[in-house]
């Protein structure tokens, strides 16, 4: 059986869906693609990564699903598309080189014909001979004109093909930089931007702050109303974040139900103010199923805020902001916490001091 065989593909699809159901994971396109690929066994490294996660935790979190998909599926598609684009570019370059060779040959032949006609004219005064030489020269020039017109058409076609490839590459770049569910920047793009932004901030002596945002009780919400509705909630939060950032600010889906916002030239105090504005804006949104009018309850977020320090690497800044997010979670959720600012949001009178630990909050 081949990869396009009807019976084979149906069997693989059924096995993939069985895996998804058994693990209670989303059957959205990215999730289905991952498990279909896993079932076929064609990507050994992907299967090893999934098996390792299953052995450790018994299932995969949404964050792990996103990371594995990004690492093994999106990157492989991008490589295949890039290979195709490179092949087209190489073909067009070879075509242009060939056309340039024809143009050089045509020009060389034209110069030879002109030089030959010049020599004959210099040694002849007979009118018929002169007329014959002129006719021959005119025919040669017309031949060159026709050849060059043909080359111009071929060059135009090559230019259009290269423009098409350029547009395809630009579309690929956009696809790689955006999260398909929320429309925000992807984790891959976030990693690129925060590294550059922190270097620029240190070079220019300007502050840079980072918000780490997590949707409260998202798993419970997902379990009660389904993964498709969960994607709608992620999309809603993404839209609010996108509308709330401006200038050089960059909002991204960090993974699962967690988001991040990079705030260049922004102090910790101003970053906390923005965090509170976002928290209030999301908390005030009414969640309702339009088709049935079903009330879905309140949607809240917890936010951790940190500012970069001289010589600090992005990973350290992310860990510090994430530690503040953890503090917001143990403080009761629906609040903002930062390293040096007064607690904001929740009415909790005191904040338990707990060591930072990376985890998924629900």
Q: Which residue has the higher pLDDT, 357 or 166?
A: 166
Q: Which of 17, 36, 60 is the last residue of a domain?
A: 60
Q: Which of 122, 149, 177 is the last residue of a domain?
A: 177
Same domain for 203 and 328: yes
> Would you state the pLDDT for residue 308?
95
| Banded pLDDT at 212 (limits 50, 70, 90) | very high
| Banded pLDDT at 351 (limits 50, 70, 90) | very low
Q: Lowest-confidence range among 3-12, 189-198, 351-360? A: 351-360
Q: What is the mean pLDDT of the chain?
A: 77
Domain count, the chain: 3
| Banded pLDDT at 348 (limits 50, 70, 90) | very low
| Spatial distance between the Cα atoms of 217 and 230, rounded to a whole number of angstroms | 11
Instruction: Quote helix, strand, coil % in the chain, to nearest 5.
Output: 65, 10, 25
Average pLDDT over every residue of 199-227: 89
> Would you state the pLDDT for residue 271?
95
Tens digits of residue pLDDT in 114-152: 666 666 655 666 666 666 766 676 676 677 667 767 766
Q: What percent of the chain has pLDDT over 90?
A: 28
Average pLDDT over every residue of 331-344: 80
Same domain for 278 and 230: yes
Helix H or strand E segment including 255 = strand 250-255
Q: Range of 114's domain?
A: 76-177
Same domain for 296 and 253: yes
Tens digits of residue pLDDT in 303-321: 999 999 999 999 999 999 9
Based on its alpha-carbon atoms, the radius of gyration of the chain, rounded to whole angstroms, reads 32
Same domain for 317 and 270: yes
Average pLDDT over every residue of 31-44: 86
Tens digits of residue pLDDT in 53-91: 888 888 887 777 777 877 777 655 555 555 555 566 556
Region label for 217, one of left (φ > 0), alpha (ψ between -120 and 50) or beta (otherwise) = left
Q: Under a CB-based contact definition with an 8 Å cutoff, are residues 54 and 244 in contact?
A: no
Residues whose CB falls within 8 Å of the CB of residue 235, separated by 6 or more in sequence, listed in order:
181, 182, 183
> Would you state the pLDDT for residue 352?
35
Tens digits of residue pLDDT in 14-30: 888 888 888 888 777 77
Question: Is this prediction's pTM over 0.85?
Answer: no
> Would you state the pLDDT for residue 128?
64
| Spatial distance between the Cα atoms of 210 and 318, rounded to a whole number of angstroms | 7
Q: Are strands 250-255 and 258-264 parallel, antiparallel or unpaired?
A: antiparallel
Tens digits of residue pLDDT in 234-291: 999 999 999 999 889 999 999 889 999 999 999 999 999 999 999 999 998 877 766 6
Same domain for 221 and 330: yes
> Would you state the pLDDT for residue 324?
96
Q: Lowest-confidence range among 33-42, 128-137, 177-186? A: 128-137
Same domain for 123 and 154: yes
Same domain for 170 and 196: no
In this structure, is residue 359 part of a structural domain? no
Residues pairing with 264 in the sheet = 208
Same domain for 315 and 204: yes
| Spatial distance between the Cα atoms of 80 and 86, rounded to a whole number of angstroms | 10
In this structure, is residue 220 part of a structural domain? yes
């Amino acid at each position: 059986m081949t990869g396009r065989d009807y019976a084979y593909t149906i069997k693989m699809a059924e096995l993939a869906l069985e895996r998804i159901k058994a693990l209670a994971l989303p059957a959205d396109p990215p999730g289905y693609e991952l498990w279909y690929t896993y079932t076929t066994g064609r990507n050994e490294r992907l299967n090893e990564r999934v098996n390792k996660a299953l052995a450790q935790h018994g299932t995969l979190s949404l964050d792990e699903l996103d990371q594995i998909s990004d690492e093994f599926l999106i990157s492989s598609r991008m490589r295949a598309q890039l290979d195709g684009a490179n092949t087209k570019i190489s073909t067009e370059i070879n075509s242009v080189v060939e056309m340039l060779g024809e143009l050089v040959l045509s020009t060389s032949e034209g110069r030879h014909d002109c030089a030959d006609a010049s020599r004959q004219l210099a040694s002849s005064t007979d009118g018929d001979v002169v007329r014959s030489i002129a006719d021959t020269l005119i025919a040669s020039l017309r031949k060159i004109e026709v050849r060059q017109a043909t080359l111009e058409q071929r060059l135009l076609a090559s230019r259009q093909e290269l423009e098409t490839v350029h547009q395809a590459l630009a579309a690929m770049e956009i696809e790689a930089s955006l999260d398909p569910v929320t429309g925000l920047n992807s984790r891959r793009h976030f990693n690129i931007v925060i590294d550059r932004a922190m270097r620029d901030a240190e070079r220019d002596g300007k502050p840079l702050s980072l918000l780490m945002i997590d949707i409260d009780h998202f798993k419970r919400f997902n379990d009660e109303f389904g993964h498709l509705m969960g994607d709608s909630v992620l999309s809603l939060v993404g839209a609010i974040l996108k509308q709330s950032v401006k200038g050089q600010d960059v909002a991204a889906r960090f993974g699962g139900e967690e988001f991040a916002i990079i705030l260049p030239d922004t102090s910790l105090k101003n970053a906390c103010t923005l965090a509170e504005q976002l928290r209030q804006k999301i908390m005030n949104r009414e969640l309702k199923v339009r088709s049935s009018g079903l009330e879905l309850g309140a949607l809240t977020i917890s936010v951790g805020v940190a500012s970069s320090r001289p010589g600090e690497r992005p990973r350290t800044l992310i860990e510090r902001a994430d530690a503040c997010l953890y503090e917001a979670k143990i403080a009761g959720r629906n609040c903002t916490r930062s390293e040096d600012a007064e607690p904001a949001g929740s009415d909790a009178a005191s904040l338990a001091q707990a060591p930072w630990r990376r985890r998924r909050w629900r």
